[in-house]
Amino acid sequence: MSWSTRDTHFDKDLVTTNGNKYMIGNGYMGYRGTLEEFGKEQLVAVTLAGLYDKAGDKWREPVNAPNGLYTSIACDGEDLTVLDSEVASHVQELDIRSAVHCRETVYNLPEGGLLTFSAERFASLDNQHLLVSRLSIHSTRDCRIVIETGIDGKVWDINGPHLFELQEQLEKDVLITSAITGELKIPVVVAEQAVFSFGEQQIDEGKALRRISVEVRAGETYEWYKYVAVYTGLDALNAGDTPTPIEAAVHAVRSAQAQGYAVLLNNHRQLWEDRWSHSDVIIEGDEEAQFALRYSIYQLLIIAPAESEKVSIPARGLSGQVYKGAVFWDTEMFMLPFFLHSDPGIARNLMMYRIHTLDGARRKAAEYGFLGAFYAWESQDTGDDACTLFNVNDVFTGRPMRTFFRDKQVHISADVVHGIWQYVQFTGDDSLLLDGGAEVVWECARFFYSYAYYNSVKERYEILDVTGPDEYHERVNNNAFTNALVKETLEIAMRTAELLKEKYPEAYRDLSAQFSAGPYLAEFEAMLDSFYVPQPDPESLIIEQFDRYHKLEEVTLAELKSRVINKHEYWGGGNGLATTTTILKQADIVLMLNLFKHSFTKAVKKANWEFYEPRTEHGSSLSPCIYALVAADIGSPDWGYPYFMRTATVDLTGVSKQYVGDLYIGGTHPAANGGAWMAAVLGFAGLYFDGETVHIHPSLPKQWQSVELPVVLRGGSFRLHISRDEVTVSAAASNREDLAFTIQDGQPELCHPGAQLRLRLEAASV
Ligand code: BGC
């Protein structure tokens, strides 16, 4: 079974796409899939999680560190690079099983003969500060090679520069590049140790670059290693003698060198093996889907904040500074389910990030004159909103357009609450509520209480003037998705209170005291009693996306596309193409039907899928997976399959929107990666855990014979095998409790620790 992806020739036009596709990372940093000799023009980036900087009045964005893996080769005075030299063959490959990137380029030497340059690298999972590489050259004729390798301090920035007072120095044999960020003056340090057993080395004073000259003999292989460490002032360095980032980085490369490449690679591999052992999903019968799904999981794993609860996952992962490195609702709604089922510790970190950024959300609510917590649409380190009021430029006039993502996508606060409750219900770990989760829940409920409008004629609370997931229709009233989520927030606020009161009465009393001035539970309850959520029309079963949606112009997507004047024009906003029509950017009602799948009949889901799908542009990579999920839910997996494949391959094919207006939005798509997992596991395999019982309702696409996966439920480890006629559940012997499973709504059966359940499926429904 395939665990790697490769390109077997070099194509200049794919440099940016491959930078995303071949990315490696370890949650602390992302390293784009660029080649050793590349520089900032080819978008090399070592993107650091959670370190942001603002240059002048430009957008705040994450900081890219200097590139410690920079290496170039010259033969007999001539530079060899895939960009300009004569290449006889070239392979770039990513092994997703161990997150190791390789390239091998064979150059036709100007005076005849071939020179092979190979490099392998990984971002250590064992020590998240480390990048490690093994490189080699081999020539078919004698020649003089000069290798330049060190730390490239000329970094790619979208809205930089971010690194100031850049200094290059040498400490014994370790190269060091250090700088401080402009806004917060945070030190950023890269140290590099290269180990050569050949040639003559020269390092110019004040330069983080080594020049190794060697008379290469035909037929011999010359191999060397690079150990690179990245530290910043944000790293909690070992207490005690408190080393500086420079000391920590130097120490890290020295001990890496002492351990050696093979040991480091082996440790890294073992940790990856362990990761896969609790996250790999095996699809039998569909190689293409198998690889695409694994690749999607890989993308999530390389950016998962396994060691920090102060960062979450940005919308473009760690693939650069696109989208300001900001965290959107994507995390809670599209990525969290994967982590909940495979690594609850990471799921907890993601939700702790929201707790740590609660003050930013409080500030935003206050700024708009509301109570409680209004989470940032684009969240960075403090939780203050990085989203601007003018997020898109009009391609026709070049003028900034007023967009209302920041002010009106109020559903973000409900998404955060949804995530917190999912975590608590799923894991049973209610300590998250005591660690700040309850405050987040209640503050968000207070925000909605202050945002809601009481319609005294209709005697109900409504939510007016919002933008739902479909961003092409801004400032609408009673967006069904938003209203449904606000209702859920209020319910969760009540349930949180009940849970704490019962289990932690003292903590409940103390926490509640903070909210005694209200609005609090009494008000939430009153609001819930007369809260309006748009319902299916009794005849058509369609739920109107928002008030008066049905009054908009009905056009086909094809017709709308034919009206496009500029391929980068923005379809939403004041005068966007879609604004006056029923065409939506992404799943909205259908997403709601998926989130609250047990509150709607199959007929309602089907009617709305069929109504909204032709009207959906899928202009966001978050959209198709939701159509796949609901298709599976209504028993039509083959309708869903193409949407699943589109989602799962987005970062392999690079087929996605690259521009909105004149803004570059390329990069990786973690929400789609999480969406692919959801479609496969929660959709086709039909897994649903309500906190007590695991329900399995398979709906496999025709190509799939079975799906097999590990899951962690309530702290217990299980392995599920779901085929067309049978479900097998194996519980780890180390599990501490029984867990109930029901298949196709049958009788629940308990699975004891160490036991196996085999449950037959009714053929017709798979
Ligand atoms: C989508 C949003 C999403 C954002 C970041 C936008 O294009 O419409 O729903 O949160 O991208 O992925």
Per-residue pLDDT tens digits for 298-307: 999 999 999 9
SS3 for 583-633 is CECCCCHHHHHHHCHHHCCHHHHHHHHHHHHHHECCCCCCCHHHHHHHHHH
Q: Which residues are catalytic?
A: 471
* Ligand 1 pocket test target in 471, 656, 668 with most atoms within 8 Å of CB: 471
Compute the distance from residue 114 Cα to the ligand 1 centre, in Å. Answer: 47
Residue 655 has pLDDT above 60, yes or no: yes
For the CA of 660, the nearest atom of ligand 1: 7
> From CA 628, how far away is CA 749, in angstroms rounded?
29
Structure confidence by residue, pLDDT tens digits, 326-378: 999 999 999 999 999 999 999 999 999 999 999 999 999 999 999 999 999 99
Q: Which residues are annotated as a binding site for substrate?
A: 329-330, 585-586
> From CA 369, how far away is CA 9, in angstroms rounded?
57
Q: List the structure tokens of 570.
A: 């923005």
Compute the distance from residue 377 Cα to the ligand 1 centre, in Å. Answer: 10
> From CA 30, how far away is CA 121, in angstroms rounded?
13
Instruction: Tell me the pLDDT band of 110, cut-offs 50, 70 and 90.
Output: confident
Structure confidence by residue, pLDDT tens digits, 573-603: 989 999 999 999 999 999 999 999 999 999 9
Q: Summarize the confidence of residues 156-160 as an average pLDDT.
A: 94
For the CA of 669, the nearest atom of ligand 1: 12
φ, ψ dihedrals at 636, nearest 5°: -125, 60
Instruction: Tell me the pLDDT band of 111, cut-offs 50, 70 and 90.
Output: confident
For the CA of 586, the nearest atom of ligand 1: 8
Q: Summarize the confidence of residues 213-223 as an average pLDDT.
A: 98
pTM value > 0.95: yes
Which pLDDT value is given to residue 2? 85
Q: Is the dihedral of CA 398, 403, 405, 406 positive or negative?
A: positive
Compute the distance from residue 468 Cα to the ligand 1 centre, in Å. Answer: 11
Q: Summarize the confidence of residues 2-9 as an average pLDDT.
A: 95
Which pLDDT value is given to residue 295? 98
> From CA 334, how far away is CA 322, in angstroms rounded?
19
* Ligand 1 pocket test target in 322, 336, 481, 620 with most atoms within 8 Å of CB: 620
Chain CA centroid to CA 720, Å: 25
Q: Summarize the confidence of residues 313-322 as an average pLDDT.
A: 97
Residue 505 has pLDDT above 60, yes or no: yes
Compute the distance from residue 620 Cα to the ligand 1 centre, in Å. Answer: 6
Establish whether residue 622 lines the binding site of ligand 1, counting it when its CB lies within 6 angstroms of any ligand atom: yes
Q: Summarize the confidence of residues 42-57 as an average pLDDT.
A: 97
Establish whether residue 163 lines the binding site of ligand 1, counting it when its CB lies within 6 angstroms of any ligand atom: no
- What is the overall mean pLDDT for the chain? 96
CA–CA–CA angle 488, 590, 687 (5° rounding):
75
Q: Summarize the confidence of residues 105-122 as an average pLDDT.
A: 96
Chain CA centroid to CA 195, Å: 35
Compute the distance from residue 661 Cα to the ligand 1 centre, in Å. Answer: 15
For the CA of 323, the nearest atom of ligand 1: 5
Query: Which helix (H) or strand (E) element contains residue 461?
Result: strand 460-462
Residue nearest to atom 12 of ligand 1 (CA): 315
* Ligand 1 pocket test target in 392, 470, 485, 622 with most atoms within 8 Å of CB: 622
Establish whether residue 334 lines the binding site of ligand 1, counting it when its CB lies within 6 angstroms of any ligand atom: no
Q: Summarize the confidence of residues 437-444 as an average pLDDT.
A: 98
Structure confidence by residue, pLDDT tens digits, 689-703: 999 999 999 999 999
Establish whether residue 326 lines the binding site of ligand 1, counting it when its CB lies within 6 angstroms of any ligand atom: no
Structure confidence by residue, pLDDT tens digits, 59-107: 999 999 999 999 999 999 999 999 999 999 999 999 999 999 999 999 9
Residue 766 has pLDDT above 50, yes or no: no
DSSP state of 231: E
Compute the distance from residue 666 Cα to the ligand 1 centre, in Å. Answer: 12
Q: Summarize the confidence of residues 470-474 as an average pLDDT.
A: 98
Which pLDDT value is given to residue 71? 98
Residues 6+ apart with CB under 8 A from 118: 102, 103, 104, 105, 135, 136, 137, 138
Instruction: Tell me the pLDDT band of 238, cut-offs 50, 70 and 90.
Output: low
DSSP state of 747: -
Instruction: Tell me the pLDDT band of 240, cut-offs 50, 70 and 90.
Output: low
- The residue that leads in pLDDT, 476 or 657, is 476
Q: Summarize the confidence of residues 276-296 as an average pLDDT.
A: 98
> From CA 18, how far away is CA 92, in angstroms rounded?
9
DSSP state of 12: G
